[in-house]
Amino acid sequence: MYETLIVETDRRGVARITLNRPEAANALNDALLRDLKDAFHDCGRDLNVRVIVLTGTGKAFCAGGDLAWMQAINNSSRSERVLGSRAVADMLYAADTVGKPVVARVNGAAFGGGVGLACTADAVVAAQSASFALSEVRLGLVPANIGPYVVRRMGASQARRYALSGRRFSAMDAQKLGIVHEVVADEQLEDAVEREVATFLEAAPEAISITKSLIAYVDGHSEQDNILYTADRLADAWETECGREGIKSFLGKTVPSWRA
């Protein structure tokens, strides 16, 4: 189904999306952008998928935009350049809004769009050797499409320091900046990702989806709007099957179906 990805789902409902352009350090081109967007949409619709793990083949997580692809776009018309940029924005939006928890397994270099991808994930675990950079300005470009996700994660002040210089920073620095949640020794990366996945598998899938949408809403609305919105969402949750089952299971000291 995918030209530039490996997508596998195990019996637990954990879908692993692996960027598979190791010869190009998993850099983003038109095919990879299309495949990633489709994969997030497909996983979002698949009721068997409960958690998504995003990673890269080889030594890189994602090295940003493919320069050969960018050069081809530079030789195109203005409308084609806008479409190329919009493809990046649409892919990031699909990654950010998929109704399943996404764990980014940062196994190596994450530059430009790779940082943007990490910033769309719900949990980010990085190998100690991984390196990061908002490198666009060093190529005469700007971190446009990834900007909303990067600034949301690290704040405007830190974004200015790193996006205006393009300097590289370590996985430990990325953790301090809020891009990464956990840094582990390279050989412990898979175990750390599995621990993160296990916590999401403890939760009801429908409740996760509603909560993810709720967080996005309350982060961008006024207190008054949030009062009305959250009152409705809790009432909705009480009416769901998982809400009823969860309360009944807790009171009856039984195991709910999503943990069985």
Catalytic residue list: 136
> Do strands 182-184 and 131-133 pair parallel, antiparallel, or not at all (unpaired)?
unpaired
> Do strands 102-106 and 51-56 pair parallel, antiparallel, or not at all (unpaired)?
parallel
Q: What are phi and psi of 151, to 5 degrees?
A: -65, -40
Distance CA 83, CA 53 (A): 28
Contacts from 188-195 at CB under 8 Å and sequence distance 24+?
Answer: 189/105, 189/107, 189/125, 189/126, 189/127, 190/105, 192/125, 193/53, 193/103, 193/105, 193/125
Report the DSSP beta bridge partners of residue 170: 131
Residues 6+ apart with CB under 8 A from 115: 64, 132, 133, 134, 146, 150, 179
